[in-house]
Amino acid sequence: MASLRSRSVSQTDAPRTLTAKTKVEEERHRSLPAQLIICLIIAMSLWSKDSMRDVLKNLIDGLSDALLQLIEWKLTTPPGRSAPEQGEKTEMVEILFVHGALVRDGAWWWQRVAERIHERTGTVSRAVELPSCGEGAIPGAADLLEDARALCAALDNVDEAVVVGHSYGGTVIAEGADHPATRHLVYITSYLPDVGQSQADIMSGEQDPVGVAPDDDGTVRIAGYTASSFGDRFWQDLTDEETRAKAWDRLTAQSVGAFGTPTTRAAWRGRLSTYFVCTEDCSTSLALQRFHAGRATRSIDLAAGHHPFLSRPDLVAEELIRVLRTD
């Protein structure tokens, strides 16, 4: 009863208490601008023009940063969630890109998509370096498991991530994205292998396999193609000649172990996933794409070739933004 009585008394006295507080606050607010103006005048008389310029610049920069953070929060936060308090730690969703086989410099391949997404949503992204492609490792020394560990290490450093894999990158995801930070998996003309399947197993039924040749260091590389013929197969819908040349220059050797190592996990099981079927892909057959798309939560068709992030970055960015906003 004491607690009920106490609550009742506080409710009865509330109007009088609030009125008294309001008068005090109003008087304080009236005097505050005058005090600020006096302080500012004194400061201006002491500071040089350069000092004043620096102060104003810092003030504007601070306001700009706060506004950008608010805009980013509005774009990436589900409806109904309140704005974060000052100093409150908030979880940020990032995008982790995993490139395909026999190429290097993942950041270059995903750059056009990453920039569009960042401009529209503020979402940060990064490309995972794959040791089997010689990125941070001795050529021929790393296999699929090393690539998966690289992805897992990247996931260790984010709150939440949408993980995007292209072609062989989907096999890396199966092995390496079984992680608490994984929020959604996205596959671009890629693969969702079962436990025990290797990349070689996945591709064994394809009627027109990619030509490769072994090197003495335990790697394989593209063989039997010119820049033109390779482009006709992998980026026939990319019209920019400079980009085609840069893509050709980024082909590289890759460890044989990347293709022969069987997976030990299937991270796509029990997780939200989206598959981008590239209907104009001249390398990965439409039948193989449809088979793996059937294992994803949902799939969409893109009228693009094997590298839509080069030929149609606008489409890829649009669909990835939809993933970011609908989960």
Write the pLDDT tens digit of every residue in 291-311: 999 999 999 999 999 999 999
- For residue 73, what pLDDT band results from cuts at 50, 70 and 90? very low
With beta carbons less than 8 A apart as the criterion, state whether 317 and 188 touch.
Answer: no
What is the pLDDT of the chain when averaged over all its residues?
A: 83
For 105-161, write each residue's pLDDT tens digit. Answer: 999 999 999 999 999 999 999 999 999 999 999 989 999 999 999 999 999 999 999
| Per-residue pLDDT at 139 | 87
Please tell me what DSSP assigns to residue 251.
B
Burial of 72 (0-12, 13-18, 19+ CB in 10 A): middle
| Per-residue pLDDT at 162 | 98
Q: Is 254 helix (H, G, I), strand (E, B) or coil?
A: strand
Give dist(CA 303, CA 312) in Å, integer: 9
Give dist(CA 185, CA 189) in Å, integer: 13
- At 187, the amino acid letter reads Y
Give dist(CA 180, CA 41) in Å, integer: 55
| Per-residue pLDDT at 53 | 55
Give dist(CA 43, CA 25) in Å, integer: 26
Residue 276 has pLDDT above 60, yes or no: yes
Nearest Cα residue to 247 out of 149, 144, 166, 136? 166
Count other Cβ atoms within 10 Å, centred on residue 232.
Answer: 13
Nearest Cα residue to 299 out of 281, 273, 279? 273
Residue 66 has pLDDT above 70, yes or no: no
Nearest Cα residue to 247 out of 310, 308, 314? 310
Residue 7 has pLDDT above 60, yes or no: no
How far is the CA of 200 from the CAs of 191, 204, 300, in angstroms? 12, 6, 26
Element of type H or E holding 298: strand 298-302
| Per-residue pLDDT at 50 | 52
Q: Could you tell me which residue, 82 or 38, shows the higher pLDDT?
A: 38
Residue 23 has pLDDT above 90, yes or no: no
Secondary structure tally for the chain: helices H, strands E:
12, 9
Nearest Cα residue to 85 out of 75, 73, 94? 73
Helix, strand, coil % (nearest 5) of the chain?
50, 15, 35
Give dist(CA 101, CA 113) in Å, integer: 19
Residue 92 has pLDDT above 70, yes or no: yes
Give dist(CA 105, CA 242) in Å, integer: 16
Residue with tokens 């969702």: 192
How much of the chain, in percent, has pLDDT values that exceed 90? 71
Give dist(CA 183, CA 313) in Å, integer: 22
| Per-residue pLDDT at 207 | 96
What angle, 0 to 180 degrees and rounded to 10, lies between the N-to-C axes of helices 313-326 and 106-121?
A: 60
Residue 218 has pLDDT above 50, yes or no: yes
Nearest Cα residue to 320 out of 90, 93, 155? 93
Tell me the longest C-alpha to C-alpha distance in the chain. 89
pTM: 0.74
Residue 284 has pLDDT above 70, yes or no: yes
Its sign, for the CA torsion 203, 209, 210, 211, is: positive
